[in-house]
Amino acid sequence: MQINGKTIIHGIIGNPVSHSLSPAMHNSAFAALNLNAAYVPFPVTDVASAMTGLRALGIRGVSVTIPHKQAVIDHLDDIDPVAAKIGAVNTLCIKNGRITGHNTDWIGANRALAEKIPLSGKKVLILGAGGSARAIGFGLLEAGAQILLASRTPQKGRQLATTLSCPWYPLDAIPQLTADCLVNATSVGMAPHTDTSLVGRKNLSRFAVVMDIVYAPLSTKLLSEAAEEGCQVVNGLAMLLYQGAAQFKLWTGEEAPVDVMRESLISSLSAR
C-alpha cells in the first residue's frame, strides 16, 4: 500500500513503544483487507498534550499501553462501560474530534481462554494484582467465571480482590488451591528472566488450562512445565492477538483477518 493524502492513520501511545508488536500486527491486517490505513508507534510522555494532538491530527484509532492506560481516562469524551469498571483503557476511537475509550484486553484474554475451556461457571486462579490482572478479572466475571486471586503484594492484592469481590491469597497458598484455570497476569518469566515461575511444577497438574500473558519467550517456564504436566496451555501471543482483533473491528467495522495477524506476530517475534 502506498501512503497518500487519504491514508487513515492509527497508532499506539506509550513509553516505551519501540518494542511493540502491534504495528506489524495491524499493518498486516490493513494490507490483507486492502485498506488505505497505517499504524505507527508514538512514544508519549505528556498524555494531555498527546490527546490534544490526536484530535487535531485526525488520528482514527489508537492503542494505549504502559504506563498510560489509566492516565488517558481524564482526557476522554466518552468511555465504554466495561472499561469504566476496569478503570483502564487500551483502545481509543476518535471520530469528529471526540475520543471514546475502550478496553479490549479482557476480550483478548477471554477469547484466548475460551478456545480451551468454556468460561461460565469455571474457577480461575489469577496471579498478580496489576492492570492486566484487573482487566482479566473483570472479563472473566463478565463471562460468568469465579475468580481467585493470588499475588506477591498483600495490599494491592487485597484491594483488587475487594474490587473483584473475590478471595485473595498469598502465593504460598497456591498448593492448597484448586481451580480449572491458572492465569499468570504478571511479568514473571519474561525475557531475560526466563528461568522463573510463580508456581512450582508439582502444583500445575491440578489446573486443566494454564495461560501466561508473557509472550517473550513464547513458551515461558510456566507454560513449558504446565505442558509437561499434561495441562492445556495458552501463550501470551493469543491474548495480544485477540485484543488487537477487537481493536481492529472497533476502528474499521471489519472482521479482523486473525490468521494474517497471528502470522505477522510470530514472524516479528522470530526476527528478534
For residues 243 and 129, membership in a common domain is answered with no
For residues 203 and 249, membership in a common domain is answered with no
pLDDT of residue 90: 96
pLDDT of residue 193: 86
For residues 64 and 40, membership in a common domain is answered with yes
**Domain assignment present for 3:** no
For every residue of 58-112, DSSP letters joined together read T--EEEE-TT-TTGGGGG-SEE-HHHHHHT---EEEEETTEEEEE--HHHHHHHH
**Domain assignment present for 200:** yes
Mean of pLDDT values over 168-184: 97
**Domain assignment present for 1:** no
For residues 114 and 29, membership in a common domain is answered with no
Rounded distance, CA 209 to CA 205, Å?
9
Partner residues linked to 211 by β-bridges: 183, 234
Q: Quick check: 103 pLDDT over 80?
A: yes
Q: What's the whole-model pTM score?
A: 0.93
**Mean pLDDT value across the chain:** 96
For residues 131 and 223, membership in a common domain is answered with yes
Asked if residues 103 and 82 have their Cβ atoms less than 8 Å apart, the reply is yes
State how many domains the chain has.
2
Which phi and psi (to 5°) does residue 110 adopt? -60, -45
Q: pLDDT band at 170, cuts 50/70/90?
A: very high
Q: Which residue matches cell numbers 513449558?
A: 224
**Domain assignment present for 201:** yes
For residues 111 and 207, membership in a common domain is answered with yes
Classify residue 31 by its DSSP letter: H
The closest of 37, 46, 47 to 11, measured between CA atoms, is 37
pLDDT of residue 272: 80
> Residue 48's domain is classified under what CATH number?
3.40.50.10860
Residue type for position 16: P
**Domain assignment present for 71:** yes
Mean of pLDDT values over 40-63: 97
pLDDT of residue 38: 98
pLDDT of residue 192: 87
Enzyme catalytic residues: 69
**Domain assignment present for 212:** yes
Residue 99 sits in which domain range? 8-103+238-270
pLDDT of residue 131: 86
Q: pLDDT band at 2, cuts 50/70/90?
A: confident
227-261 pLDDT, tens digit per residue, is 999 999 999 999 999 999 999 999 999 999 999 99
For residues 15 and 35, membership in a common domain is answered with yes
Q: Quick check: 122 pLDDT over 90?
A: yes
Q: Quick check: 44 pLDDT over 80?
A: yes
Mean of pLDDT values over 25-43: 98
Q: Quick check: 179 pLDDT over 80?
A: yes
Pairing relation of β-strands 91-95 and 98-102? Answer: antiparallel
The closest of 9, 1, 24 to 244, measured between CA atoms, is 24
Q: Quick check: 1 pLDDT over 80?
A: no
Q: Quick check: 113 pLDDT over 80?
A: yes
For residues 47 and 84, membership in a common domain is answered with yes
The x, y and z cell numbers of residue 99, run together, are 475520543
For residues 185 and 153, membership in a common domain is answered with yes
Pairing relation of β-strands 61-64 and 91-95? Answer: antiparallel
